[in-house]
Structure 1
Amino acid sequence: MHNNQQLLATQFVTLFTVLDPLSHVALFLALTGHFSPRQKQTAAITGVATAFLVLAAFGLGGQALLKTMGVSLRSFQIAGGVIMLVFAMTMVLGSGEIAHESGAGKSGSPFDTAIYPLAVPVIAGPAALLCMVLMMDGVNNTANASRMQVLGVLVAVLALLLLALLLGDRISRAIGNGGANLLRRILGMVLAAVAVNTTLAAVGSWLELPPI
């Protein structure tokens, strides 16, 4: 039970850090600044729901896709760890802001903006897709309960993300730019540690080294 709770906590923290709900608030407000409150709500719900479908589908079918392409899971773990580390470094150093996407949806409808760029690539980005595959591999893939646990964690994190988007105006006023930047860097440090652990675990398994 203790190990399962620890795994559940690790999965939650990892996904929460990768999806980074609070840091998406500013981008969401920029994308939907010309929408009415009702249209903002529609964009938030549609974007998060679409991101869930994309992440869940990739998490469930990602390993089969890798086998079809002839890519070993260990190689994917190492690549995923490196990419997550780079992503974490941009969070800590502040050089990986995705605000350059903010103009992509200004002329579209709430549904258009929700699909692109909000759902993909902002929410369901490369790091999140890799994270889903790695977490699905981290459980016993013959047990539906284990897969459902990962999907449950995904639902919980996306629910927090949706709540953050719906309360975007209030959160932005409460924490300000300084608070958002500080939180982003703290979460980036946590994600960097997870990324290093993922890479070292894959390399250690390849070299048959004792676990770290």
Structure 2
Amino acid sequence: MMELAFWATFINIFIGLMAIVNPVGILPIFLSITNDQTPEERQKTGTTACIAVGIILLVSMLAGSGILKTFSISLDSFRVAGGILVMLIAYSQLQAKGSKIKHTEEEDRESVQKDNVSVVPLALPIMAGPGSISSIILWANESPTISHKVATAFAIVALAIVAAAIFRAAPFINKLLGITGLNVVTRIMGLILFAIGIELMASGLKGLFPALTYLPSVTAN
């Protein structure tokens, strides 16, 4: 039973992270900011960025509850805020646009002038932005069990590995899918992300206002 719960947690969090980080959707940005690099340098940049993302999210997972306690923020309040943030990012993805919550045009222009773009801005804030960091804090605190924490950590590591593989194959994937294909993937991820945001916000509102749990459901006649 514990094994089933472990893998269910792992899969849910992994899919959620893939939707938020959306490594396929950011391939055009990745190729743009590594345009002047050799294939070997581009692969090194992608791998370094994914390692950095893994570290950032693992630290967020471990330190998240302490940060919330420090600022006296309840988990339910953070769920509502995180849900709204995730839905805003999802809305941009549904339009196949880059979210300015993750990164702005000014940051993109600045990144072109940098020699090393693997950590800033690629890892932070393009990949590990406010949406993924807030979501991982929420998911990590859904259960106090060690099994849940380990499953969350495994999902983060799996995301980093898959994202690194996607970046390694970036030119091929970009050529195969084209702009239309990448936009389709981005919109699908946006739809999944929007649903995740609604679930987070609904869960937070029920925690803040328990009376909402007892409202009668409306069914069609």
TM more than 0.5:
yes
Structure 1 residue 102: Cα displacement: 3.4
Q: Tell me which residue corresponds to 1:6.
A: 8
Structure 1 residue 149: Cα displacement: 0.9
Which residue of 174, 180, 183 maps to 2:182?
A: 180
Structure 1 residue 72: Cα displacement: 1.2
Partner amino acid, structure 2, of 1:192: F
- Superposed, which structure 2 residues align to 1:98-177 within 5 Å? 100=105, 101-109=107-115, 112-140=116-144, 143-177=145-179
Structure 2 distance, partners of 1:56, 1:38, is 27
Structure 1 distance, partners of 2:214, 2:23, is 35
Q: 8 Å contact 1:55–1:129 — kept in the other structure?
A: yes
Q: Tell me which residue corresponds to 1:37.
A: 39
Q: 8 Å contact 1:136–1:150 — kept in the other structure?
A: yes
Q: Which runs of 5+ in 1 are unaligned?
A: none
Structure 1 residue 160: Cα displacement: 1.0
SS of structure 2 residue aligned to 1:35: coil
SS of structure 2 residue aligned to 1:33: coil
Q: Which runs of 5+ in 2 are unaligned?
A: none
Structure 2 distance, partners of 1:52, 1:144, is 19
Q: 8 Å contact 2:91–2:194 — kept in the other structure?
A: yes
Partner amino acid, structure 1, of 2:11: A
Q: TM-score, normalised by structure 1?
A: 0.91
Moved over 4 A (4+): none
Q: 8 Å contact 2:48–2:119 — kept in the other structure?
A: yes
Structure 2 distance, partners of 1:17, 1:46, is 21
Structure 1 distance, partners of 2:121, 2:14, is 24
SS of structure 2 residue aligned to 1:103: helix
Question: Size of the alignment, in residue pairs?
Answer: 208
Q: Does 1:28 align with 2:34?
A: no
- Superposed, which structure 2 residues align to 1:28-67 within 5 Å? 28-67=30-69
Identity of aligned residues (%): 22
Structure 1 distance, partners of 2:47, 2:63, is 24
Q: Tell me which residue corresponds to 1:79.
A: 81
Q: TM-score, normalised by structure 2?
A: 0.87
Q: Tell me which residue corresponds to 2:203.
A: 201
Structure 1 distance, partners of 2:43, 2:127, is 16
Structure 1 distance, partners of 2:169, 2:98, is 24
Q: 8 Å contact 1:30–1:102 — kept in the other structure?
A: no
Q: Tell me which residue corresponds to 2:94.
A: 92
- RMSD of equivalent CA atoms: 1.9
Q: 8 Å contact 2:76–2:203 — kept in the other structure?
A: no
Structure 1 distance, partners of 2:7, 2:150, is 15
Q: 8 Å contact 1:47–1:119 — kept in the other structure?
A: yes
